[in-house]
Chains A and B, each alone.
Chain A
């Protein structure tokens, strides 16, 4: 069985109007056996950036700590919060530095980028396990249910959704996709990032 699918799990990010959303399931498995249903895969990077990591659980934890260290060093040196586009390239170069012995994770980023006029612009990005960046303007998916997520998201997503409509869209997409994936599911968590606040909601889903 492939390393990327050993622990299971899926993440999705979506862009809306002046907001972004990122969501994941909560399952941790060891092959077909479920080990835990409280394994969070999305981590805050700054007040306005959240990152989801899918793939091998041990690498998810290692990279979460490593990126926290790198972001702390950036913040101290620059005396400012890192921007999403800068952070995306930090993730990319960190992963590519292990080009021939990679971390087995696929990151998904969601954040609000500051514009020259002082406003905020939705920013989502994804990368493969060696850091090839993917800038999409609609949605990014990763994990064992990625094909299902692509299908449902392509059907449900539309441009310029407000925070509450975006929450409904990303939640329905995630829940219906992971219900058709044996390696994902067992609960879900959603983050909606707006310029004012970040809304966190834990979803009740099928537990089978």
Chain B
């Protein structure tokens, strides 16, 4: 009889380096502006970690980045993007153009192809030709320029609503008319607020607060309907370039 006490059962150990922290982000491009928005709830499972954790970040005078998914990865990714943009400023004495930031984000994400940042990115801002632009990314850097995009926990609730209200999907224009390619800023803000109040109503991971970043093209001013909402203007490096504003709203906390 062999000594059985020497035999040890196999054991398995596991460490999951990722978490899912809920929340939703959204961006809509206009003709000469872009709105980038996100809620501020951060959760893990059924627990709320904080009611105020920003997911939308001001990068340059004409670029704003929203990150959603694993918050730790998101914060680290934004930190590294900001660092690369600062290096670019020191090397070239100007801000990186939006389309170049989009390509930079792709290479930074794909560099982590086999241990990805568990994050969905939406980049919004003003292109060099003065048009509003939205770029959306998957976690490993596949990206596309679009007019609007929702991502995160309530993407499935918000995206079909945007298809209908922004792209006018399933709507036929009246005889002799056509749907507008871009909506005015007050309409876009109303749709963003409606999207988030709807998502808050039906999704437990969305709520608490809403932050909307407005990036305005060079030489454009806010319409009166938006000025009355008292948006806060963020400091810009040059006085005559693109401008960034922030609008904050409360969302239900239950």
Given contacts A147-B157, A151-B158, A180-B163, A172 and B170 within 8 Å (CB-CB)? yes
* Alpha-carbon distance between A152 and B202 when the two chains are bound, in angstroms: 11
Query: A149 to nearest B CB, angstroms?
Result: 8
The 0/1 profile, CB within 8 Å of B marked 1, for residues 157-179 of chain A is 00000000000000010011101
The 0/1 profile, CB within 8 Å of A marked 1, for residues 181-204 of chain B is 000000000000011001101100
Contact (Cβ within 8 A) B156 A180: yes
Contact (Cβ within 8 A) B170 A151: no
* Alpha-carbon distance between A155 and B191 when the two chains are bound, in angstroms: 9
* Alpha-carbon distance between A199 and B172 when the two chains are bound, in angstroms: 22
Given contacts A175-B170, A179-B169, A151 and B163 within 8 Å (CB-CB)? no
Query: B167 to nearest A CB, angstroms?
Result: 10
* Alpha-carbon distance between A63 and B170 when the two chains are bound, in angstroms: 33
Main SS at interface, chain B: helix
The 0/1 profile, CB within 8 Å of B marked 1, for residues 129-172 of chain A is 00000000000000000011011101110000000000000001
Query: B12 to nearest A CB, angstroms?
Result: 27
The residues of A that contact B156 with a CB separation of less than 8 Å are: 147-148, 151, 180
Instruction: Answer whether residue A195 sits at the interface, using C-beta atoms and an 8 A cutoff.
Output: no
Instruction: Answer whether residue B164 sits at the interface, using C-beta atoms and an 8 A cutoff.
Output: yes
* Alpha-carbon distance between A176 and B164 when the two chains are bound, in angstroms: 6
Interface centre among A147, A151, A205, by most chain B C-beta atoms within 10 angstroms, is A151
Q: How many residues of A contact B (CB 8 A)?
A: 15
Given contacts A150-B202, A154-B201, A176 and B157 within 8 Å (CB-CB)? no
* Alpha-carbon distance between A172 and B170 when the two chains are bound, in angstroms: 7
Given contacts A150-B202, A154-B201, A180 and B157 within 8 Å (CB-CB)? no
Instruction: Answer whether residue B131 sits at the interface, using C-beta atoms and an 8 A cutoff.
Output: no
Query: B204 to nearest A CB, angstroms?
Result: 12
Contact (Cβ within 8 A) A152 B170: no
Contact (Cβ within 8 A) A180 B160: yes
Query: B92 to nearest A CB, angstroms?
Result: 41
Query: B182 to nearest A CB, angstroms?
Result: 20
Find residues 161-208 in chain A having any chain B CB closer than 8 Å to their own CB.
172, 175-177, 179-180, 205
Query: A207 to nearest B CB, angstroms?
Result: 13
Contact (Cβ within 8 A) B194 A155: yes
Interface residues on B, range: 10 to 19
Instruction: Answer whether residue B106 sits at the interface, using C-beta atoms and an 8 A cutoff.
Output: no
The residues of B that contact A176 with a CB separation of less than 8 Å are: 160-161, 163-164, 169-170
Instruction: Answer whether residue B75 sits at the interface, using C-beta atoms and an 8 A cutoff.
Output: no
* Alpha-carbon distance between A155 and B163 when the two chains are bound, in angstroms: 12
Query: A64 to nearest B CB, angstroms?
Result: 28
* 8 Å CB contact of B195 from A155, A172, A180: A155
Contact (Cβ within 8 A) A151 B169: no
Contact (Cβ within 8 A) B160 A148: yes
The residues of B that contact A175 with a CB separation of less than 8 Å are: 169-170
Contact (Cβ within 8 A) A155 B198: yes
Query: B179 to nearest A CB, angstroms?
Result: 14
Instruction: Answer whether residue B154 sits at the interface, using C-beta atoms and an 8 A cutoff.
Output: yes
The residues of A that contact B154 with a CB separation of less than 8 Å are: 151
Query: A82 to nearest B CB, angstroms?
Result: 32
Contact (Cβ within 8 A) A152 B169: no
The residues of B that contact A179 with a CB separation of less than 8 Å are: 160, 163, 169-170
Interface centre among B154, B160, B201, B202, by most chain A C-beta atoms within 10 angstroms, is B160
Query: B72 to nearest A CB, angstroms?
Result: 27
Given contacts A179-B169, A180-B156, A180-B159, A151 and B164 within 8 Å (CB-CB)? no
CB-CB nearest 6 A-B residue pairs: A151-B157, A154-B198, A175-B170, A176-B164, A147-B156, A180-B160
User: Besides the contacts A148-B157, A152-B157, A155-B161, what 15 more A-B pairs have beta carbons closer than 8 Å?
Assistant: A147-B157, A150-B202, A151-B156, A151-B158, A151-B160, A151-B161, A151-B198, A154-B157, A154-B202, A155-B194, A155-B198, A172-B164, A176-B170, A180-B159, A205-B170
29 contacts between A and B (CB under 8 A): A147-B157, A148-B156, A148-B157, A148-B159, A150-B202, A151-B156, A151-B159, A151-B160, A151-B161, A151-B198, A152-B157, A152-B160, A152-B161, A154-B198, A154-B201, A154-B202, A155-B165, A155-B195, A155-B198, A172-B164, A172-B171, A175-B170, A176-B161, A179-B163, A179-B169, A180-B156, A180-B160, A180-B163, A205-B170
